[in-house]
A = this chain, B = another copy of it.
Amino acid sequence: MLYYNTHYPAAIIMTLNDLPNQKHNHKQCVSNALAMAEQVCLERGVQLTPIRYQVLELIWESHKAVKAYELLDRIKPLQMAAKPPTIYRALEFLSEQGFIHRVESLNAFIGCRCSNAPHEQLLLICKNCQEVEERTAPKVMQALSEEFNDAEFIVHSKAIEIHGLCSQCAASVATDLSD
């Protein structure tokens, strides 16, 4: 099964990776993600149906991890018939295609910022603002493969989830404490 494609222009890749920047143009960020998903689905011959598109759009409303039942509530105005399987099927599709990631430690989902290329993600989860930042963390991945280079364990998938405080929240928590 071909899940990834590496033929996107560098400009799009850079845009998708700019989260840590000061001024985050979220509208642009979302429309890039949606456009890329459409494009990738075309190339893979899979269907980005209205429900799937809407779920992806809802997930991208913010960079916070979002729960399945939150998505269900939010999609109901658009899809009156929506029930849990509606959401879970869309999530399964989006996840298989690499457009979203499941955050295991939160039972929640986030949009993938680099779905145009194969990657193994590391998630930074802020306990304060709930935003999740995705990193490729090549050094960590390198260390991981060294850990298993003697065929003791055949890796299929990884979930690396770090909980803590993002820099903004760390700063504001410090401020709160000094009050």
Give the B-binding residues of A (Cβ under 8 A).
20, 104-105, 122, 124, 126-127, 133, 135, 137, 139-140, 142-144, 146-147, 151-167, 170
Contacts and interface: CB of A to CB of B under 8 A. Distances in A.
Given A139-B143, A146-B139, A156 B151 contact: no
- Number of copies of this protein chain within its complex: 2
Contact of A135 (B127, B147, B164, B165): B147
Majority DSSP secondary structure for residues of A touching B: strand
B140 A153 contact: no
A166 B135 CA distance: 27
B159 A164 contact: no
Contact of A156 (B104, B122, B163): B163
A158 B105 CA distance: 10
Contact of A140 (B127, B140, B167): B140
Contacts of A144: 137, 140, 162
A19 to B, nearest CB: 11
Contacts of A135: 147
Given A135-B147, A139-B143, A165-B154, A159 B105 contact: yes
